[in-house]
Structure 1
């Protein structure tokens, strides 16, 4: 009971800090952003550790890489954003690895169908912002490949098996894809604070839904072990 209450308190703190950070993004308050943004991933990690039946070390490492990437993104200079993008690519690779381990591969056709919305998003962005992105288009496309793979797995799997865990995974992946689209939109506006804030909203909920997906897959696995152990006990 105490563990459950502590987990809820950590989740509440996560969303409160996220709300303050989003307000700071809107106002362009760098000091407040530096104070709040570094707290987000540690709070989510602690929440995950308190709620998890069997903590996934790869998911924790992935969240740490996401945290490092966000620290680079706060600086908002080309060099630091480039470093942040590299760490975020590692984060995406780890998430794909986790998803492949946790869900059944939907097969070629469902995966292709599932990847189409993500291919459309990235193709459209590249087509309309080719000149603005310049050499950065290659990094953007690399991110796009990772998100498209994850999108194909998540949506393809959701098409074949309409479950709550698959829905959370698809929702999280879609939010992450749209987040990148929002970041590109700010290239066309002199004041990008609102787009930073909007991207942060989607990032926060994307991470939360991804964590919910991890919880549900762990719970299903935990329940299966409980059933097997009960059967073994009854047999003896």
Structure 2
């Protein structure tokens, strides 16, 4: 029996070595599987982030929008990238054809709605009237109706998010109390509309560009008789717009 003890001890040592080797191999295999899973998750996450960075925003407007794209790229008709989004300039008609024009532009993206992160829409500064109480009231009523139709086209019809720029101020020479009241009432109504309707975001360009009296800040105007923003005005809009894009 005493001669068998070394043999038993030897067998036990061999078995222990085999168990440890198997355990070691198992941990190594699990680690490799974990590394593989981590790599796959990283690749999937990168692909998702790349897809998100390629989202499109359809930028609908007229001369001020064209000037904004010229400010960005030197060409009013050339799309550009900003904050990971591709911004596409789309010119729309003035009232009363603005709603039909928006519908026509949206039709160009039929079947490609998933590629669109949002539609940006705004009226031109010339779309808001002053000059008298009745004229301003009719203008305000008209803009509300147009905006509701745009909402129906974009959010309800296409299931896209809608970014609406509020009123654009005019230079002091073309501003009167009735116009200011019209613009500010529209802005208040628009803020309430956005809070009551899902899928609507307001870009408050009025607060960026307007002076205390409601006219376009002189330092942001192309000229005393021209209400289009100059380079300083567009840069001011850029800062506010970038903040909005960062929240989308």
Q: Which category describes the TM-score, using the shorter chain as reference length?
A: 0.3 to 0.5
Greater fraction of residues in helix:
1
Name the TM-score, length of structure 1 as normaliser: 0.32
Q: TM-score, normalised on structure 2?
A: 0.31
Q: Pick the structure with more strand per residue.
A: 2
Larger Rg belongs to: 2
